[in-house]
Structure 1
Amino acid sequence: MNFLAHLYLSKNNDEIMIGNFIADHIKGNKFSHFSENIQKGIILHRAIDSYTDSHEIVRISKRRLHERYGHYDGIIIDIFYDHFLAINWRDYSEIPLDIYVSSVYKLLENNFDILPEKTQHLLPYMVKYNWLYNYQFAKGIKDVLNGMNNRTNGKSMMNLATEDLLLHYDSFHNDFTKFFKDLQHFSEIKTNELLTN
């Protein structure tokens, strides 16, 4: 899953949310210097990623992209699924998306000094271009995919993936809806397990 889903699945626990957000920028087990709950957020992030990668519905989504994008298919699906979370946000949260993402940006900016260097580099761009809110729009998804394609020097061709999103829109949407229900259940159990240990 991508940024918005990981943040949402942190259940408004600030430290879990920070850990879940920074986890991709943490190598191996080098996170013992963080608070206990930030560490648990990192562990939760990795559990969510493992669950997602092994889920049959996600594999079905990836198959639609694999021939064109190879091993980048999973990255693209993560972004597509954040799009569907954003456009269906009212089904998952009583807090309007714009208010939610503003509170997330504020939390991360208030804790900027403890964020890994790569996260510190990323966050200003995320806030400036309001990625989390703009995932709901085709242009927002296209901009993110263009940026990721540039980071692969054009090898990934992710800049073309909005074509696939539109071509298989209903199928991807249905995949997301069914999968996210399972993921919510999994992450709730995992979070409760982490917080009670």
Structure 2
Amino acid sequence: MNYLAHIYFSDSCRQVAVGNFIGDFVKGRRYKAYPSGIRKGILLHRQIDHFTDNHPAFKETVELLRPSFGRYSGIMADMYYDYLLASDFDRYGNGRSLDQFARNFYWSVLLYYWWLPKKVKGFIFHFIKTNRLKKYGTLAGLQQSLEIMSVHKSSAINPTLGIEFLAANESQLRNHFDQFMMEALQKFPLRR
């Protein structure tokens, strides 16, 4: 799962959301240096990743992607799952719009800016300014995110192919995602 889904499962707690957001950037036992709420979010991030990587629907998604994306299939699946969550946020948002959800998170990350790892501090203002979380809900916004990844993570990520594949397979991907979300919401229930 990518940024939006991790934040979504943080259950409206600002520190937990920040910890969940930075989870990939805090390695090993370094999480112990953070305040308790952020620590909780970092550990939740790890639990969500473990659950996701071992879930049958997510594994099916990765296998569907493998012929087109090879070793980047997991990354693409994460990005597609954020798109599928964002584009259907009315269903999953518990009465909140994606815009409200995103703005609330941006305030959270600014409130706890001091605790962000250096790498996150390097992109967070661009992330907020371009409203990345909301843009995940459109094909054009997802393509922009993939373009950013192709420049900053790996040039092997092909944004055009990513969008073409999604457009051709969205129904099947959404079926996998809905199955995954049904079980994820049981495993990580929201109290909103």
Whether TM-score is above 0.5 comes out as yes
RMSD over aligned CA atoms reads 1.6
Q: Residues 76 and 107 of structure 1: is their aligned pair in 2 closer, same or farther, counting only changes over 3 Å?
A: same
Q: Hey, what does 1:178 align to over in structure 2?
A: 179
Are 1:30 and 2:30 an aligned pair?
yes
TM-score, length-scaled by structure 2 = 0.93
| Of 30-39 and 148-157, the range deviating more from structure 2 | 148-157
TM-score of the two chains, using structure 1 as the length reference: 0.91
Q: Secondary structure at the match of 2:32?
A: coil
After TM superposition, the structure 1 = structure 2 runs for residues 107-122 of structure 1, keeping only pairs within 5 Å, are: 107-122=108-123
- Whether 1:140 aligns to 2:146 is no
CA offsets, 1:135-175, max 9 Å, x none? 11110010111111223452233542111101101000111
Matched, 1:105 2:106: yes
Aligned-partner Cα distance in 2 for 1:136–1:108: 21
Aligned to 2:44: 44
Distance 1:101 1:185, change over 3 A: same
Percent sequence identity is: 29
In the alignment, the residues of structure 2 paired with residue 128 and residue 180 of structure 1 have an alpha-carbon distance, to the nearest angstrom, of 29
How far off its partner does 1:49 sit? 0.5
Structure 1 unmatched runs, 5+ = 193-197
Residue 149 of structure 1 contacts residue 159 of structure 1 at CA under 8 Å; is this kept in 2?
A: no
Distance in 2 (CA, whole Å) between partners of 1:64 and 1:96 is 30
* Aligned mates of 1:53, 1:3 — CA distance in 2: 15
Whole-angstrom CA distance in 2 between matches of 1:155 and 1:99 = 34
Cα distance change of structure 1 residues 137 and 179 upon mapping to structure 2, 3 Å threshold = same
Partner of 2:28, secondary structure, is coil
State how many pairs are aligned. Answer: 190
Displacement of 1:70: 1.3
How far, CA to CA, are the matches of 1:105 and 1:152 in structure 2?
Answer: 23
8 Å CA contact 1:76, 1:158 repeated in 2: no
